Amino acid sequence: MDIKQKAKDELESRVKNLESFIAEKGVGSSYLSRAKRIQRNVNVTIVLGAAVAITGISVWAINKLNED
């Protein structure tokens, strides 16, 4: 690995560390963590809702076929 690539990788890792520090401790960090938690809950709700809908449609289709 050449020096340029090493320096680039090192700078990128430092920038990422700085960005994560600002996200955790910076201005608005509590709003950011709250927004992440809400987004996670919304995503889980959507996935579970879709699973229930697919299961319901499958049960309805199976019952409809059995009636005929």
pLDDT one-digit tens code per residue, 13-58: 999 999 988 888 888 888 888 999 999 999 999 999 999 999 999 9
Domain boundaries, the chain: 3-67
Name the residue with higher pLDDT: 46 or 68: 46
Q: Give the C-alpha separation, 24 to 18, whole Å.
A: 10
Close Cβ partners of 32 (under 8 Å, ≥ 6 residues apart) = 23
* Residue 11: C-alpha distances to residues 14, 16, 20, 21, 25 (Å): 5, 9, 14, 15, 21
pTM of the model: 0.59
DSSP secondary structure code for residue 26 in this structure: S
Token representation of residue 13: 């890792």
